[in-house]
Amino acid sequence: MSNSMRDILDKLAAGAGTQGWGAIAAISRSDLNQQLQRQYVERYQRLAFMPLFTGEARGEDLSVDTLGLEGVELGVPTLSFSSAARAVVTMNIVAGRYNSVHQSLSSASTVSGTFKITESMGFRLTMTVQLATDDTGQVTLNLAEGSAFTCNLAGLDEARNVRLAQFFADMFKQIPLHRSVFSLVQVDLEQYQAQPPASFRVFPMVAPGAVDAGAENFGDGALLLFMRLHGSLDEGQFPPAESLPYPIPDKHGTHDPDYGSTLILSREGMADVDPERLPVLDSLHFTGGDTFAVLERDRHEDLLVFSILRAAQASVVPAFTTIKAGQTQRFSVHNEQGQIIAATKWTAVSLQSHTDAGHGSISNDGVYTAPDPETIGHDSLRVVITATYNESGVTRTASALLSVVFESMELAPRVTVVAGGDFLQPVSLNVSTLDARPVRWALRGTEYGQLSQNGHAGLFVADARSGKKALVAQQIEAHGSEIGVATVLIANGQQMLRIEPAFVPRARKSQAVQLNEDSTLLPGLLRRWKVIGGEGTVDQQGRFMPPDRSVVASSVVSCEVVNNSVVLASGYSVIELSQVYDEPGWEELSMFTVTLPGSADNQRSGNLYPNGYQQVRLQIKTPAIAVDGNDYTLSVTERASMRLVDNDTRQNLESVNPSIEGIAEEDDQAWRVSLQRNRFELAGAALDPAESGLNAPVTVTQNFYLHSRENAGLVGTFYATFQKDSGRWWTSLELEDINSKVFITPLRLPRFDTANYTFVPTRTLGGGGD
């Protein structure tokens, strides 16, 4: 549906106007998503990035498979619009593992599905989010308050998708504020200039035609800010009348500007204002300092200004990319005009690695070399590339995100199980590759159904040929730059024979895997072992040998109990073929201390004014004990999970709202914590803090800044906790060190009267004395 500039002007001229508001600003979805992307990347530097998700989604009864997620990483949150009430946020699922396990009291536990996740597979998590405003003029979205979650990670199995969506919904509620809140825009309500905004309301507006799922602009829209200007006592109409046009014009040609924002300033709002420099536009601030660049103006009764949002800081290019272990990637810094500028320093830090080798290396000219296949230690790594550069004498940083993968091809699923019978569930097949070569799907071996292909995706539907056997396996090959084999198991009955282990996460070339069956089930009868999916061989003692050639697959090894050529019971094990050697890591900490640097009582006791804004600095140190002479550090994900805990309630302290610098007076929390120092005077000794962010040294040091609105004299006692990558939570209380906890005393707030101030009148204009 067309929405030209002429259409907008005609509708406004017909009387739509600003509907009683002093000004209306519209910020496009694309500009808002640009803000979200920048914040998403920059948060890695201060350990405030979205956490990785690990856990299980269990069914209400044993007949429902348990779904497991491990190290699931979510990508950039992107906004779309579907109604005026809420916005829709979509996040790609970019990495991690998925598996499902069937458990039953009457049969063996078996793996019913497994695969590794990559972003190009197209898995997504969506939710609706209410946009929020506060007294400081911030417009934010808090992912922890999302609702109506949906997910497609389980492919065509909607029942599993619903359970996975609920898993994420439950996990999101636990994300602290500093990791879940994103800023969209701030309206400066305290400017000392002509007619600044005094108050405002937000209204998500859907673009014309964007509610149609088949439309090219589906989900497009803008955030509208309805602003009451100083000098006006009343707000305008809200919600706005339907006559208000969508204020951002379409882009009709390749050479037309891609408008990102529109300002409609009322006739009253133009009084005493230079139309060439509009204070209202200056009152809108973005986290990266981006500014509006005016493209066109039109004035009838109201003033219309059409503009774009221009970056105010340099960026690292490419911002997102993926390479294979051992490969290289060149990065460069581009200024606001897109020109390459010099970086004074480059760093590369992996989120998951515990050793220097696991981070890879980066040269002085920005060429990153990924860890080689022998040292990567993980199926994939997320690496933060950071450039330090100088701009007008100021040192700044900019970052990019890089994924390093062990395999250049991945299949989803590698193995899956569907129930046999009259209603056979179709299986969607997905593949990701690092190159652009086409992928061809083909059935392999005995055929038990139909296979179709759409682009890189495949669809398999079993048919009557799957028969009535307790278990048959359909192998499906993916042919691209490499060969992958997916296995669909069609189960017509329960697997009664227990095989141990039921799942082997790593099986390398020339390294045998010993499988064992339950000898107490039908003892004395013949056991028959065979490989029914993937590749490799197995002997009749259950000894599996991986194939010599490299293939992207998980092998399925079956064991049958046979009597007179009749299969009486069977079971299987899923063995993932992988050449990855898991990275070793730390096992025990040599120290886990919480201190108040420079304070009394062995750095355990301190105080602060409980006005919500003064901070006291806490320092946490967590060096690990060397293992076999090798030093290991906490990974970035482990450090990012660090929290302060109230000793009395055993509850984690909540973060300071990122939109303000402390605890608001009406807040119901007596204590909050921040990762960053604010601009107010620090309580206690003002010692320079050690490196605390992404590039912390081997003796990992982290700084936290505590705020309080507790009553004077009520001592707060706090300790620290973090989650090891294995899932275990550690606390500073465990080592029983003298510095396992700290004690903070809120002081009585000082009172000031006129004797504390001196007023000196000074004439600023005109003749005569003061």
Query: Which pLDDT value is given to residue 281?
Result: 86
The arithmetic mean of pLDDT across residues 332-336, rounded, is 95
In the 8-state DSSP scheme, what is residue 13?
I
Q: Is the pLDDT of residue 452 over 90?
A: yes
Query: Which pLDDT value is given to residue 687?
Result: 61
Binned at pLDDT 50, 70 and 90, residue 192 comes out as: low
Q: Is 242 left (phi over 0), alpha (psi -120 to 50) or beta?
A: alpha
**pTM score above 0.85:** yes
Q: Is the pLDDT of residue 622 over 90?
A: yes
The arithmetic mean of pLDDT across residues 210-232, rounded, is 90
Q: Which residues pair with 56 in a beta bridge?
A: 68
SS3 (DSSP) at 380: strand
Query: Which pLDDT value is given to residue 396?
Result: 95
Cβ atoms 404, 320 nearer than 8 A: no
Cis bond leading into 697, ω under 30°? no
Query: Which pLDDT value is given to residue 106?
Result: 72
3-state DSSP helix/strand/coil percent for the chain, to nearest 5? 10, 40, 50
Residues 6+ apart with CB under 8 A from 31: 260, 261, 309
Q: How far apart are CA 54 and CA 49, in angstroms?
A: 16
Query: Which pLDDT value is given to residue 388?
Result: 98
Query: Which pLDDT value is given to residue 413?
Result: 97
User: pLDDT tens digit string along 224-272?
Assistant: 999 999 888 889 999 999 889 999 998 655 555 578 899 999 988 777 6
Distance of CA 633 to the CA centre of its chain: 23
First to last CA, the chain: 65
Q: How far apart are CA 105 and CA 102, in angstroms?
A: 10
Q: Is the pLDDT of residue 193 over 70?
A: no
Cβ atoms 182, 39 nearer than 8 A: yes
User: pLDDT tens digit string along 286-325?
Assistant: 988 898 888 888 887 888 999 999 988 999 999 999 999 9
Q: Which of 655, 668, 657, 643 is nearest to 183 (CA)?
A: 657
Render the burial of 504-531: b for 16+ CB within 10 Å, e for the rest. Answer: bbbbeeeeebebebbeeebeeeebebeb
Distances (CA, A) of 94 to 113, 338, 561: 19, 28, 42
Q: Which of 449, 20, 437, 24 is nearest to 202 (CA)?
A: 24
- Return the minimum-mean-pLDDT range out of 34-43, 195-204, 371-380, 761-770: 761-770
Query: Which pLDDT value is given to residue 692?
Result: 61
Q: How far apart are CA 117 and CA 152, in angstroms?
A: 12
Q: Is the pLDDT of residue 85 over 70?
A: no
Neighbour tally for 625: CB within 10 Å? 12
- Return the minimum-mean-pLDDT range out of 59-63, 172-176, 605-609: 59-63
Strand 457-462 relative to strand 499-500, pairing: unpaired
Strand 471-479 relative to strand 132-133, pairing: unpaired
Distance of CA 662 to the CA centre of its chain: 25
Cβ atoms 611, 664 nearer than 8 A: no
Whose structure tokens read 């007076």? 665
pLDDT cut 70: percent of the chain above it: 95
Average pLDDT, the chain: 92
User: pLDDT tens digit string along 384-425?
Assistant: 999 999 998 999 999 999 999 999 999 999 999 998 887 888
Which tokens hold the place of 413? Answer: 């699923």
User: pLDDT tens digit string along 138-188?
Assistant: 999 999 999 999 999 999 999 999 999 999 999 999 999 999 999 999 999
